């Protein structure tokens, strides 16, 4: 049970809540659970009598948003255990009063008896997924006339673990018994609750039935998108145009237009909440994007741009600007001369400042308030020179549908992040914008509120809902993702002004407020909200969406029934041709014929299906399922067809799914009417491969049934015939036992069962000509398979190309560095010594440390760093100098700076490891273009001529930019020549010229001498003269201490180097 503990001084504040399990007893009650009292109450704008008995309540009434109900506790003095009232239904959920005696200790350790009073919601439900937010007033009624009840308020999100909420110390027992208030009459008390509840989530709330509309499912942090989509959907003229966009030839998964048509169509005709996954997928969003809280204004603009582009050249071209485009005039008007500069701009929305503004009128006044350009900020009027002027905007026209973004989220320079302003800001159902127009328009700029988009929470997240007035008639609905409910005008407008708790009643959280408003021009309201009928939707679109739905139902049925089916993957003998590895085929590359069959299908039915599909009579096919042996090989095995014919496929397959089967068929040119018989006791199925050492290739040579007692010699004529050799050709035979294990068969006069190790169906014999005298790289198939065992596919990716897919080469794990470099160089078309290789970082797909060209290990040792179960990767880069030279050099990255101290390019220099700074500068000289009249000397900027030779009273001083903290330097540091005794004003002139900064900007700079990590600001610049001793190191200083330098303190206006921050990623709709 969840309750509120009172403090010593009883007050009406909701205090800390805890949980306690209490045994509850339902007690009969004369008063019943119906609504007490004779007063009227407002529900969804209609007055309803409260004294209706619960049994007679209509089903629609049970969906009401608020109710008042009572419960009378009889024999109050004998109350020992908790009691529950009968149910009162609000939002289709049962609500009950829970009452109990409680004891607690006072501050002086005295035991105090109290009345516990709680409101319970959906207490008997076993579901754990429901929730319902409600506010309520709990009242103890007095039997004395004209006496106010004792009441306290609560607000709570009710859910399965906290399904009751209230006060364990609602009132002390003594105070209840007080005779002057007359709470007790005839040993009974009457408790009353007035509850106001939102529509619940996670229960069967029928939005369509209660409102006529359906919601949108939330698929992540995109519920503002749902709010926006509902707003656009109820802009009926736009919905009509969206339906008419031509999408017949659009890709179903990539077309934004088709996805929006689909969402709109489902919103109009579906009875259940509509999903948006296909829509966000059509945007080209990855999963992460769905959870990124994109800026709503940006999202709206991008989406409308997409629609506008799609509508071009169609019958609905221009709908978007016609509905949403207004015009404003930006002007600068000179005060002392007759000169005005104007520019007309279009807008699709208006951003209104709300900080410090009471209401929408003040924000519009602020928007058109002019700014004076005078003093240092005069306007440059061209030939008229600098002039005093006023700058501002005025509206030329307002659109039929006006989107107003309230700037609740703004950048705060103090915290350096976005903050949300929850200030109270009033807006109205009707507004007039006539006074903000430059000239009156043909119709008045009077507007009616159509939608209020609301955010609860702070700038880091929260929840979004939208209140919409669908027909513009003042009947509002609340769209909270998948739940839609009717609401009052007050809930839609007044409750969303924002403000803090003292500004508003406790039913609204202060962080809940409007962030976007949609108004419709009164003169256009009938047109914008025109009814959209089935006739307005092109028949082709309806048919396409119906077909999509039909296919989805089939796919859903397949998914739901997937556990009843299995896959039988069939291979015919031609699948074994060309296979160069162990066993008969590569499971990862095989082209199976896949049959989806019910697991309860019999083997007989499967054979009939195969015969029908392969176009062979059933007696001309025989299945041989593949089976994994204990020695890591996969070979065909026998099915006892007679015994297993009526067994189910899943039993025969021993629960393998998919089940791989070799189906033997009669060879087309054999003339046989049926496959030869096979005796499982005396015959064995053998497969044959020919190895050609000349080409280092394996050739598949079919299969054969052989009696197990037959001698090996009997195979020779058959194998010569299969290989196309003369009958008397001498052959060498091997048995392929497992990977890297091929044994030669020595005795040809012994029977097969003795010669072959553990003779089984599916054994493979590899043969080749007996050519002992000829020299080959891999002379025997044993050598071939040993080499194959060490083969590995390696992908080489260019380190300098982001996400380079690279190329794949088949290499031996026993290769040396040189062999690998030659193979890659041949593929890339370069010299092996102009390549540098990098191992993968441990279990990452990124380059690690460079590999030395003297590496003495094998390729196998380089691949251990790759992520398991992924393609093996090695990174490389092409060099300009040979790798053996590079390894004796040191890589330096330097920025080449131009005369104006602007970065021009990045240099990568390679001086010798034991080289000097002079060598580094010499390397740089080769890569840069020097200025015509320069000195030709470098310090990774070209040294100006006047800094080459310094007099005794001159010095080069280091200069750097910083802001507030001297350790937070930015920009490009440089050196400046100063002269002993010269006034600081002259130094400033040279600095301004060197940096190329405007005088007005330079005035904001402050100057400091930075010595030993401390800044000594030059306060009186006119009196300060350069003293070279200030810039020399103190002889007593540690040698590693930095030299003194001149600091320029100012704000860093240069754009920061971009760092990836997904929360700031621009919104993009890719398709």
Query: What's the rounded Cα separation, in Å, for the pair 138 and 157?
Result: 16
Burial class (CB in 10 A: 0-12, 13-18, 19+), 376: exposed
Q: What number of other Cβ atoms are within 10 A of residue 552's Cβ?
A: 10
* Maximum separation of any 2 CA atoms in the chain, in Å: 127
Omega before residue 658 within 30° of 0, cis: yes
Query: What's the rounded Cα separation, in Å, for the pair 601 and 624?
Result: 18
Query: What's the rounded Cα separation, in Å, for the pair 568 and 573?
Result: 16
Q: Which segments of 340-445 does DSSP mark as H helices, in order?
A: 360-368
Q: For residue 864, which of 821, 822, 813 has the smallest C-alpha distance?
A: 813
Contacts (Cβ under 8 Å, ≥6 apart) of 33? 54, 69, 71, 85, 86, 87, 88, 96
Query: What's the rounded Cα separation, in Å, for the pair 22 and 782?
Result: 80
Q: For residue 131, which of 158, 155, 161 has the smallest C-alpha distance?
A: 158
The verdict on whether 463 is a catalytic residue reads: yes
Burial class (CB in 10 A: 0-12, 13-18, 19+), 863: middle
Question: Residue 505, SS3?
Answer: coil
- Tell me the DSSP string of 568-579: EEEE-GGGGTT-
Catalytic residue among 223, 477, 487, 866: 223
Query: What's the rounded Cα separation, in Å, for the pair 862 and 616?
Result: 52
For residue 81 the two structure tokens come to 């255990």
Q: Any idea how long the chain is?
A: 1071
Q: Which residues share a beta bridge with 874?
A: 796
Residues 121/136, Cβ–Cβ less than 8 Å:
no
- Indicate the angle between helix axes 223-233 and 256-269, nearest 10 degrees: 70
Query: What's the rounded Cα separation, in Å, for the pair 476 and 468?
Result: 6
Residues 793/806, Cβ–Cβ less than 8 Å:
no
Query: What's the rounded Cα separation, in Å, for the pair 643 and 151?
Result: 82
Beta-sheet strands, E only, within 144-211 = 150-159, 164-172, 189-197
Q: For residue 452, which of 228, 647, 615 has the smallest C-alpha distance?
A: 228
Query: What's the rounded Cα separation, in Å, for the pair 375 and 887?
Result: 63
Residues 406/338, Cβ–Cβ less than 8 Å:
no
Contacts (Cβ under 8 Å, ≥6 apart) of 857? 817
The verdict on whether 634 is a catalytic residue reads: no
- Tell me the DSSP string of 909-953: E--BTT--HHHHHHHHHTTSPPPTTS-S-BSSBBPPGGGTS--TT
For residue 870 the two structure tokens come to 């992924």
Query: What's the rounded Cα separation, in Å, for the pair 391 and 341?
Result: 9
Query: What's the rounded Cα separation, in Å, for the pair 989 and 995?
Result: 10
Cα distances (angstroms) measured from residue 255 to each of 220, 236, 552: 21, 21, 18
Query: What's the rounded Cα separation, in Å, for the pair 727 and 750?
Result: 20
Q: Hey, which residues are catalytic here?
A: 223, 463
């Amino acid at each position: 049970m969840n309750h509120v503990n009172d403090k010593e001084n009883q007050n009406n504040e909701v205090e800390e809540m805890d949980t306690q399990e209490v045994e509850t007893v339902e007690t009969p009650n004369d008063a019943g659970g119906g609504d007490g009292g004779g007063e009227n109450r407002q529900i969804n704008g209609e007055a309803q009598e409260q004294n209706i008995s619960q049994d007679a309540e209509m089903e629609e009434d049970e969906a009401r948003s608020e109710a008042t109900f009572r419960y009378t506790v009889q024999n109050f003095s004998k109350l020992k255990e908790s009691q529950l009232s009968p149910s009162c239904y609000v939002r289709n959920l049962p609500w009950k009063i829970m009452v109990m005696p409680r004891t607690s200790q006072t501050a002086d350790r005295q035991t105090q008896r109290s009345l516990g009073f709680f409101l319970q919601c959906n207490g008997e439900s076993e579901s754990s997924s429901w929730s319902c937010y409600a506010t309520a007033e709990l009242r103890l009624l007095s039997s004395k006339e004209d006496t106010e009840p004792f009441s306290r308020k609560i607000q709570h999100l009710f859910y399965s673990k906290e399904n009751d909420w209230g006060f364990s110390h609602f009132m002390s027992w003594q105070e209840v018994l007080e005779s002057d208030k007359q709470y007790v009459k005839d040993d009974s008390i009457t408790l009353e609750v007035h509850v106001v509840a939102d529509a619940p989530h996670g229960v069967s709330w029928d939005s369509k039935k209660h409102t006529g509309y359906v919601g949108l499912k939330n698929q992540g942090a995109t519920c503002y998108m749902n709010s926006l989509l509902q707003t656009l959907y109820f802009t009926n003229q736009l919905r009509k145009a969206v339906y008419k966009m031509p999408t017949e030839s659009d890709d179903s998964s990539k077309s934004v237009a088709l996805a929006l048509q689909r969402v709109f169509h489902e919103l109009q005709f579906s009875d259940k909440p509509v999903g948006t996954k296909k829509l966000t997928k059509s945007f080209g969003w990855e999963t992460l994007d769905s959870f990124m809280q994109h800026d709503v204004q940006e999202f709206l603009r991008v989406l409308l741009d997409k629609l506008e582009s799609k509508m071009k050249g169609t019958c609905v071209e221009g709908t978007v600007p016609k509905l949403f485009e207004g015009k404003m005039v930006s002007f600068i008007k000179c005060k002392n001369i007759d000169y005005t500069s104007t520019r007309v701009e279009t807008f699709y929305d208006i951003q209104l400042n709300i900080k410090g503004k009471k209401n929408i009128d003040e924000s519009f006044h602020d928007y058109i308030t002019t700014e004076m350009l005078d003093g240092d900020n005069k306007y440059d009027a061209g030939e008229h020179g600098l002039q005093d002027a006023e700058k501002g905007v005025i509206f030329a026209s307002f659109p039929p549908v006006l989107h107003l973004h309230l700037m609740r989220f703004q950048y705060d320079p103090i915290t350096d992040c976005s903050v949300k302003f929850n200030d109270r800001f009033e807006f109205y159902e009707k507004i007039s914008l006539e006074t903000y127009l430059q000239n009156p328009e043909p119709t008045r700029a009077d507007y009616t509120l159509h939608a209020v988009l609301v955010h609860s929470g702070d700038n880091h997240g929260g929840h979004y809902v939208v209140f919409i007035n669908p027909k513009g008639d003042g009947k509002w609905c609340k769209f909270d993702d998948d739940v839609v409910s009717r609401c009052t005008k007050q809930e839609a407008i007044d409750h969303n002004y924002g403000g803090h708790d003292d500004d508003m009643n406790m039913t609204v959280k202060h962080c809940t407020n409007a962030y976007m408003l949609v108004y419709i021009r009164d003169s256009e309201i009938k047109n914008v909200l025109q009814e959209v009928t089935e006739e307005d939707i092109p028949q082709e679109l309806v048919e396409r969406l119906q077909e999509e739905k039909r296919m989805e139902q089939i796919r859903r049925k397949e998914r739901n029934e997937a556990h009843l089916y299995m896959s039988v993957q069939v291979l015919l003998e031609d699948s074994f041709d060309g296979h160069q590895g162990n066993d008969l085929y590569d499971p990862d590359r095989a082209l199976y014929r896949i049959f989806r069959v019910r697991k309860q299908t019999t083997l007989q039915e499967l054979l009939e299906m195969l015969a029908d599909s392969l176009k062979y009579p059933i007696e001309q096919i025989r299945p041989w399922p593949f089976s994994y042996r204990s020695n890591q090989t996969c070979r065909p095995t026998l099915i006892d067809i007679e015994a297993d014919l009526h067994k189910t496929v899943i039993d025969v397959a021993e629960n393998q799914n998919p089940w791989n089967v070799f189906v033997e068929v009669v060879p087309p040119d054999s003339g046989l009417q049926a496959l030869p018989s096979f005796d499982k006791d005396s015959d064995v199925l053998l497969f044959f491969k020919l190895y050609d050492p000349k080409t280092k290739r394996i050739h598949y040579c079919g299969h054969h049934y052989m009696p197990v007692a037959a001698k090996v010699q009997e195979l020779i004529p058959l194998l010569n015939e299969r290989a196309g050799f003369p009958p008397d050709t001498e052959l060498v035979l091997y048995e392929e036992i497992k990977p890297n294990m091929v044994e030669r068969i020595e005795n040809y006069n012994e029977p097969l069962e003795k010669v072959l190790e553990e003779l089984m169906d599916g054994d493979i014999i590899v043969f080749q000509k007996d050519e002992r005298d000829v020299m080959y790289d891999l002379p025997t198939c044993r050598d071939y398979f040993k080499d194959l065992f060490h083969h590995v596919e390696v992908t080489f990716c260019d380190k300098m190309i982001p996400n380079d897919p690279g190329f794949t080469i088949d290499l031996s794990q026993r290769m040396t560095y040189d062999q690998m470099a030659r193979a890659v160089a041949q593929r890339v078309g370069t010299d092996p010594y102009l390549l540098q290789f990098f191992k993968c970082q441990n279990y990452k797909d990124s380059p690690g440390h460079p590999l030395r060209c003297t590496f003495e290990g094998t390729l196998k040792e380089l691949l251990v760093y790759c992520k398991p179960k992924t393609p093996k990767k090695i990174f490389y880069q092409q060099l300009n100098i040979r790798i053996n030279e590079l390894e004796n050099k040191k890589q330096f990255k330097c920025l080449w700076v131009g005369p104006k101290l602007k970065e021009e390019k990045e240099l990568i220099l390679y001086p010798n490891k034991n080289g000097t700074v002079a060598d580094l500068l010499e390397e740089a000289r080769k890569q840069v273009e020097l200025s015509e009249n320069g000195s030709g000397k470098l310090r990774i900027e070209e040294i100006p001529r006047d800094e080459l030779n310094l007099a005794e009273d001159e010095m080069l001083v280091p200069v750097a930019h910083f802001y507030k903290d001297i350790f937070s330097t930015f920009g490009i540091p440089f050196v400046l020549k100063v002269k002993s005794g010269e006034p600081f004003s002259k130094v400033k002139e040279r600095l301004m010229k060197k940096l190329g900064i405007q005088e007005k900007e330079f005035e904001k700079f402050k100057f400091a001498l930075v010595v030993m990590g401390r800044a000594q600001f030059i306060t009186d610049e006119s009196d300060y003269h350069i003293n070279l001793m200030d810039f020399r190191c103190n002889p007593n200083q540690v040698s590693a201490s930095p030299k003194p330098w001149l600091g320029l303190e100012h704000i860093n206006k240069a754009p920061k180097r971009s760092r990836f921050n997904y929360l700031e990623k621009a919104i993009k709709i890719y398709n």
